[in-house]
Amino acid sequence: MDIYRFAKRLRFHDASRASQCHASYDGASPGALLAQLRDECEAMARYALHHGLPVAPETIALLSALIDGMPSDTRPAVLSGASSSTAPSTAPSNETANATPRHSTSAQHALASIHRKLAALIAPATPQAVTLLDEQHRLARPLAWLGPVPLIRLLTVAAISFLIAVIATGLSPEVSADNVERGFLDSHGTQLLWNALFLLFCAGLGASFATLFQAHRYIAASTYDPKYDASYGARLILGVIAGLILVELLPPRLFDQGGMHSFGKPALAMLGGFSATAVHRLLQRLVDTLDTLVRGDRSADVDAALHTRRAQAASERTQWQSELAASLLDLQQSFDKPDSADTARRRLAELTRAMLAGDPFSPSFRPSSTTFSNDTE
């Protein structure tokens, strides 16, 4: 019954509160943290109910009671116990006003506990992403069919714009296979402008497709974080630049030996825009090759360093064997003393500790000079 009441109240919840929640999170309101807890718990509970996750009925009942006891402006809570709540009085007395901080602390603790349980239940989805997607869904924006969040809508518009631009520039008689293959140095005037724009739009189409596809993965998994929105714009710009570099600024015979020798410049521009990281790796490989030509082959230096390490390891192993043999000899000579049993136990304990510590060159591991002097006397 409590689950039904909670779901019914959420279904008819006023959508105007969603437009005010971001304004209350900026820290200006004293109840900003409590408002964030309430909104995220409510969104995560709705997410769990919609996806059929095994949420405890007691959690839903307690959350519904807590939310019902919070006014929308200051969001105080009056909670009489761990699993019950009382409705706020319309004319609070002095006794109620004095008791509010204690009850509010209990309500905040209960909300924090519910928030932790729901966050673990919906993982790997994050409370921030679930709350943001829930708010955007309830706002019912006119362009919501383009994407659930503003970033997806912008990337979708960018992809559609690049697609229309590719088609529009391709309609020009200046854009042809022969003119595109001529490149920047063999073209001039409007012919160069139209073909350069065509290649740029092809690269932008590939970049927008890759960026939109990657952003949709985070939206589908409910792990989207708005703080990375600027990085998608940077990826879009880098993709356009990478596509132009790949088709115009790199040597045309660079791909003759691979499987890309049959690709035309528009396809290469789209591939460059789709994976700006691959173009960066290609340029880095060319820089490394040039660096090797200038500085020479460094394999001899690597072999020399490896030989030095092996010689050092062999020297350390020989020293370790010498120290171990000396300690065993010292232990053998200690049996000739009157207190040979105690001395042998002590030497064995020192030897064992040194072996377990991996420090065979410690002072306790080395044979003592007193042993040899006593034996000599």
Are 284 and 326 contained in the same domain?
Answer: no
Within-domain flag for 311: no
Rounded CA-CA distance 365/361 in Å is 6
Q: Which residue has the tokens 């919840």?
A: 13
Could you give the number of structural domains in the chain?
3
75 in a domain, yes or no?
A: yes
Same domain, 156 and 274: yes
Q: Is the same domain home to 150 and 291?
A: yes
| Residue 343 is assigned to a structural domain of this protein | yes
Torsion of CA 193, 196, 198, 200, to 10 degrees: -130
Tokens, residue 345: 């136990």
Residue-level pLDDT at 147 = 87
267 found inside a domain:
yes
Q: For residue 6, what pLDDT is reported?
A: 47
Name the H helices within the chain.
2-11, 21-24, 32-50, 57-68, 94-122, 127-139, 150-170, 177-182, 189-220, 229-244, 265-274, 276-295, 299-333, 340-357, 369-376
Q: Are residues 352 and 333 in the same domain?
A: yes
One domain, residues 281 and 160: yes
Domain of 55? 2-88+98-139
Within this chain, do residues 162 and 209 fall inside the same structural domain, yes or no?
yes
Q: Which pLDDT score, from 0 to 100, does residue 143 have?
A: 77
Predicted confidence at residue 71, as pLDDT, reads 52
Are both 186 and 261 inside the same structural domain?
A: yes
Do both 184 and 258 map to the same domain?
Answer: yes
- Residue 70: the pLDDT is 62
pLDDT along the chain (377 residues), means of 10: 46 44 46 84 92 90 83 40 37 41 71 91 92 86 83 94 95 90 86 93 94 92 92 93 87 64 81 89 85 73 83 86 77 70 75 67 49 40
pLDDT at 183: 82
